[in-house]
Amino acid sequence: MTPSRFGATYGRARVQPRSTARSCTSTTSPSAQHRTGQAARRSGSGGATPAALARTGHLYDGWLPYPPDPADYQAGLADVRQAATDGGRDPETITPALFATLLITDDADDGRQALEEYSRINYGLPLEVLETIQTLIAGPRAHVTSQLDRYIAAGARHIVCRIAALDLTSQLDQLEQIAELIKTTS
């Protein structure tokens, strides 16, 4: 499939690049929605507590977590689907997605150093802390592909990519590289 500005198919998953130049908020809490008058929540994100996973299975049309390990993703998705079944819903009506921070580099060590800088500037955390919280993938195209494939095997069907580049020129370069990655794997 040809990539478009709205994403493209990668393996069995749909990829939607997001840059750090724009804020990307997946959802807000139900209580915050109540206070702000927002419409019903459509996608559960992040939370891996039993209550959050059950709430996703009972109420939402999608799940958009960012776990650092595909095994955690797979286990969370199983819990979401079980909660949907327990609530009388077809678990296949919940779209499993992944929010991943990506950086394609020629060298794995360079990618790791760039992620360290990105982590400290954007989160004020060292990379070793941030990578225990969320999905971060950097390195040569083959490495990025193999890591994304692990999440697809764990059940992800949509991938939202946050680009771990700090300036607009680098972000545009990364968008081109991600588009090329999609073309070569579709």
DSSP string spanning 162-180? EE--SSHHHHHHHHHHHHH
Q: What is the pLDDT of residue 21?
A: 33
* Contact status, residue 68 vs residue 131, Cβ threshold 8 Å: yes
**Angle between the N-to-C axes of helices 70-86 and 50-59, in degrees from 0 to 180, rounded to the nearest 10:** 50
For residue 50, with 0-12 CB atoms within 10 Å meaning exposed, 13-18 middle and 19 or more buried, which class applies? exposed
Predicted confidence band of residue 45 (pLDDT cuts 50, 70, 90): low
- The enclosing H or E element of 139 equals strand 135-139
140 HSE (CA, 13 A, CB side): 5
Residue type at 62 in one-letter notation: G
Predicted confidence band of residue 183 (pLDDT cuts 50, 70, 90): confident
* Contact status, residue 62 vs residue 93, Cβ threshold 8 Å: no
pTM assigned to the model: 0.77
Each residue's pLDDT tens digit, 11-34: 566 665 554 333 333 333 333 333
